[in-house]
Chain A
Amino acid sequence: MNKDLNIKVNHLTRVEGHGDIVVDMKQGILKKAQLEIVEAPRFFEAFLKDRNFHEAALITSRICGICSLGHQITSLKATEDALGLEVSEQTVLLRKLLIDGATFQSNILHALFLVTPDLLNVSSVFPLVKSHKDVVLAALRLKALANEIGDLISGRAIHPIRCIPGGFSKLPEVAELELLKHKLNTQGRDDLKFIVDVLSTLLGNMPDFTRETEYISLYQPSEYGLYDGTIKSSDAGEYPVSDYLSVTNEYIVSHSTAKHAKNKRSSYMVGALARFNNSYDLLSPGAKALAEKFSLSAPNYNPYMNTIAQVVEVVHCIDEAVDIIDTLLDRGIKDEEANQAPTRYGTGIGATEVPRGILFHEYTYNRKGIIEKANCIIPTGQNLANIDDDMKKLVPEIIKESKEEITHKLEMLVRAYDPCISCSVHMLNVKFEN
């Protein structure tokens, strides 16, 4: 078919950060189909240089409001690796609890506030306040509960306060943990069940599109890897975290202020669907049951289903959070100081799964505890090439549909990845002058 098609979506709505969708087809030949990242560069690596180790996590947290906890934890792990700071088991448990809370919060925000409007054919969640008030209330309660985890354990859900190198500046009280556990088990599970029932009726509106790609995520053989592990590729198996640069292979493209990445193929995917595909076996039984209810089985190659994988993860996160609180209550909260006595000064790497995918921070410290080099590789940046490749396959497949329909499906495609565009542009070239 000799179709001409020109699509330009300026500043896509219902995503974090600024990106444009551009499609250019002439005489049936697809010349361009890409996501142009127009977000202003942030220059965070310039901010990290010459900063002391107490400040690194506070700075990187400001890369992104939604993923601030993830940036902090990853940053702290990199600092602790570089300075030889061991952390206690209690610290690890509290951090895992925080990650569960952050994943729960972010996935709910994305699935219910940013994507569900598309499934219900409305322009935002606000009209739903009139037509589906119960759903909106349940979604708001779930989000509030998820944020309570962050507020309780880290002092503030956005740009956390208590997470410091070597541990925590302040610890939770037993009564607070008991109340949180109770809320998760009652109101949390009830609201989630209600939301899930509603979402199941909307699954038919999810576009049916398949493109197999490489899926990369953090991996642990003993648990659904979010806090620690190796890098796992669905194509190539496991790599140690120290190999992260050769797995990500970032490169500059002219249509994006954020770099692209590739490994075994021209692109790869990170995030909930990648984690689901690589670590399905390690999900909680409740999460697996939900996946079955949604007819989501591993591996799944439909990027639109990333949103559904996120909802499945919410169940897992609530289950794991309750388990962790149980362990903490069993053992009692030990009043321990954060370990802030460096035993070495060198280079350290932290890798964690944040809601949108695998995040890497690497720092080099000098003898005074000052950062000389810093590098971060952001999950959304790693997804950008995959999004472009998806678009290039999708457009010809749906070319017979109207321009409005095609545009809408492309918007939904980008949204499905839950991109965090501000994050992806903060750090670009990682050249350092010595």
Chain B
Amino acid sequence: MSKPRIAIFDFTSCEGCELNKLNFENELLDILELVDIVEWREAMDDKAEEYDIAFVEGSISTPSCVERIHKIRRKAKILVALGSCAVFGGINHLKNMRPTDAVREDVYGDQKYLFPTIPVMPLKAVVKVDYEVRGCPMSSQEFLHLLKSLVLGRKPEIPDYAVCVECKLAENECVLDKGMFCLGPITRAGCGAICPSNSFYCTGCRGLISNPNQEGALDMLKEYGFSKNEALKRMELFCSSEVLIK
């Protein structure tokens, strides 16, 4: 049986998720035993006509992005959205919070029509996405788990519970009690609660759980001294595409 062919692409993004893959210094050679990387513009010149698994980082934000992702979807048996920008829009999605014309004017002034742009979309708004690895940057351990599962033909186990669960398991002191803001109660676990473990707050970079009690979270944050406006604004930093309250 031949090794699965994988290809890696990036759209509107910071390439941090891709870099995370090149950061598998110890595991990289093991990974290369399992799969063949047939296209990866950031690290290789090679191109491929089709692949078994396409890993795609970044959001869709220009007309040419739309065309390009359709091409990739056609050539790939499985498509994995890597990182929050690809999965749900992430920080890129903040651009949609103001009218497009106003944002373009701000940035380019009277040259705004020189550079085309469309409202930011996650990959799933344009093509069918088979699997997701959330996080900003994507969580490396989750990526490895997904890759191994796909290669072995097993269903990956991706958590859909709050970061608080992982934080408690790590026996962290709750950062809310230390006076900090925190979105742990409604953010998707899978990162090992890395930010609270570093005495920083959960910024919601992995997006919300599938059934978040957004009103409840705002009430709770109010008790800790954060006004509704302030809490919403902070929630929107990464999760603007998922926040339902205005």
What is A's interface to B at a CB cutoff of 8 Å? 11, 13-17, 40-43, 45-47, 50-51, 54-55, 58-59, 62-66, 68, 109, 113-114, 117, 123-126, 129, 136-137, 140-141, 143-144, 147, 155-159, 161-162, 164, 169-170, 252, 254, 257, 422, 427-429, 431-433
What's the minimum C-beta distance from B102 to chain A, rounded to whole angstroms? Answer: 9
Chain B positions 3 through 41: 1 when the CB is less than 8 Å from some CB of chain A, otherwise 0: 000000001111111111011011011001000010011
How distant is the Cα of A78 from the Cα of B111 in the complex, in angstroms?
A: 29
How distant is the Cα of A63 from the Cα of B194 in the complex, in angstroms?
A: 21
| Set of chain B residues within 8 Å of A50, measured between Cβ atoms | 233
With A14-B45, A46-B107, A68-B16: A58-B25 Cβ-Cβ less than 8 Å: no
Q: Tell me the nearest residue of chain B to A428, going by C-beta.
A: B107
- Of A13, A141, A252, A254, the residue contacting B25 (CB under 8 A) is A141
Q: Tell me the nearest residue of chain B to A142, going by C-beta.
A: B25
Q: Give the contact stretch, choosing among B70-78, B91-99, B215-223.
A: B91-99
With A41-B115, A47-B91, A59-B237: A17-B200 Cβ-Cβ less than 8 Å: no
The answer, yes or no, to whether B187 is at the interface (CB within 8 Å) is: no
With A16-B42, A41-B115, A252-B111: A147-B25 Cβ-Cβ less than 8 Å: yes
Apart from A41-B115, A47-B91, A429-B108, list 13 A-B contacts with CB within 8 A. Answer: A14-B43, A41-B61, A42-B12, A46-B106, A65-B15, A109-B19, A125-B43, A141-B25, A143-B23, A157-B23, A159-B16, A162-B198, A428-B107
How distant is the Cα of A155 from the Cα of B29 in the complex, in angstroms?
A: 25
Q: By CB atoms of chain A within 10 A, which of B44, B114, B195 has the most? A: B44
How distant is the Cα of A159 from the Cα of B98 in the complex, in angstroms?
A: 26
A431 touches B106 (CB 8 A): yes
B107 touches A40 (CB 8 A): no
A62 touches B91 (CB 8 A): yes
With A14-B43, A62-B136: A161-B12 Cβ-Cβ less than 8 Å: no
With A47-B91, A143-B23, A254-B114: A64-B109 Cβ-Cβ less than 8 Å: no
What's the minimum C-beta distance from B158 to chain A, rounded to whole angstroms? Answer: 20
With A13-B41, A14-B44, A428-B108: A40-B32 Cβ-Cβ less than 8 Å: no
A40 touches B12 (CB 8 A): yes
With A45-B106, A143-B23: A170-B199 Cβ-Cβ less than 8 Å: yes
- Of B92, B106, B194, the residue contacting A429 (CB under 8 A) is B106
| Set of chain B residues within 8 Å of A17, measured between Cβ atoms | 15
| Set of chain B residues within 8 Å of A113, measured between Cβ atoms | 22, 43
Q: Would you list 12 pairs from A and B whose C-beta atoms are within 8 A, ordered by A residue?
A: A16-B42, A41-B108, A45-B107, A46-B106, A55-B234, A64-B14, A65-B17, A66-B15, A68-B16, A147-B25, A157-B23, A429-B107
Q: Tell me the nearest residue of chain A to B84, going by C-beta.
A: A62
Chain B positions 155 through 170: 1 when the CB is less than 8 Å from some CB of chain A, otherwise 0: 0000000000000000
| Set of chain B residues within 8 Å of A141, measured between Cβ atoms | 25
With A11-B41, A59-B237, A147-B25: A155-B107 Cβ-Cβ less than 8 Å: no
